[in-house]
Amino acid sequence: MRAFTYQRATSPAQAAAIVAGTPGARFIAGGTNLLDLMKLEIETPTHLVDVNGLSLDQIEATADGGLRIGALVRNTDLAADMRVRRDYGVLSRAVLAGASTQLRNKATTAGNLLQRTRCPYFYDTNQACNKRQPGSGCSATPGFSRQHAVIGASTSCIATYPGDMAVAMRLLDANVETVRADGQVRNIPIADFHRLPGNTPHIDNVLGAGELITAVTLPKPLGGTHVYRKVRDRTSYAFALVSVAAVIQPDGRGRVALGGVAHKPWRVEAAEQALPQGANAVSELLLAGATPTAENAFKIALAKRTLAAVLADARKG
């Protein structure tokens, strides 16, 4: 780990201004992803701005009947909140499916959204990786690609977004609140927050320089049956091969989103119109245009089977 300086921020606007105005500066809260990347010298910030003292750790009701989740709410607290468990069960289940208890006790809502890919070539500094070093190439494309994206990828990058929480938030149409370096507040629909790789896979999201996440807001509850199912190589502390988040209403309509298959949580609203016709009809639209490798083509069938099982369970419940 390289040497760095450290500073505690006293307000969100001040934190944003410091990071925007200091070359190599980064925010730090739980640090569960950033510190690992610093130890491997994948991330080499020269200055860390600690945002833990900014009182962004509350979950509050909104005027329209939804919830506002502070950026520093720990994953454990988010999953355990009675309002989340009662009204946004898919979110509670998704959070509990991620990482380990120890990590969830430290990891924050904002940090979870901002976590970087777990592609092994990204983590190995001896390998070419456009996400880590733009223009160097993608070792995953000709290499071991079992865990990688089957849809939304590009010739520059086939990595996947690793998180669970964001899949549920995409399903729920959450909004990401931020403050910019000039103090202006912005609301970003989560559908627009994460980027597909294109020719710039090193840019994971739409945040500007120094832009700080302050909260995530959820619309009023959807009702229906909430399900989150994660398929992985082992039952704990493993990232998804495929995950399915769903909210299904008694009339068979609802929403579905996938994790583990793309560079961002994957939801196609047009596919949801086919829910009354069954899982096969939804899958054909949801995965249209998929371009798997020879090693991860099984994810297509796995996603279809998992979606079918989730819909069957939801309709029983």
What are the pLDDT digits (tens) for 147-166?
A: 999 999 999 999 999 999 99
Q: What is the DSSP annotation of 153-219? A: --SS-------SHHHHHHHTT-EEEEE-TTS-EEEEEHHHHBPP-TT-TT--BS--TT-EEEEEEE-
- pLDDT(317) > 90: no
What are the pLDDT digits (tens) for 265-299?
A: 999 999 999 999 999 999 999 999 999 999 999 99
Q: What is the pLDDT of residue 51?
A: 98
pTM of the prediction?
A: 0.98
Q: What is the pLDDT of residue 236?
A: 82
Residue 79 vs residues 104, 161, 225: alpha-carbon distances, Å: 9, 20, 17
What are the pLDDT digits (tens) for 240-264?
A: 999 999 999 999 999 999 999 999 9
Residue 144: pLDDT band with limits 50, 70, 90: very high
Cα–Cα distance, 51 to 11 (Å, whole number) = 8
- pLDDT(316) > 90: no
Whether residue 283 contacts residue 261, with contact meaning beta carbons closer than 8 Å, is answered with no
Residue 78: pLDDT band with limits 50, 70, 90: very high
Q: What is the pLDDT of residue 235?
A: 86
Instruction: Give residue 62's identity as a one-letter amino acid code.
Output: T
Q: What is the pLDDT of residue 315?
A: 84
Calculate the average pLDDT of the chain: 97
Residue 1: pLDDT band with limits 50, 70, 90: confident
Residue 169: pLDDT band with limits 50, 70, 90: very high
Helix (H) or strand (E) holding 49: strand 47-50
Phi, psi torsion values for 230, nearest 5 degrees: -120, 125
Tally the residues of the chain: 317
Q: What is the pLDDT of residue 142?
A: 96
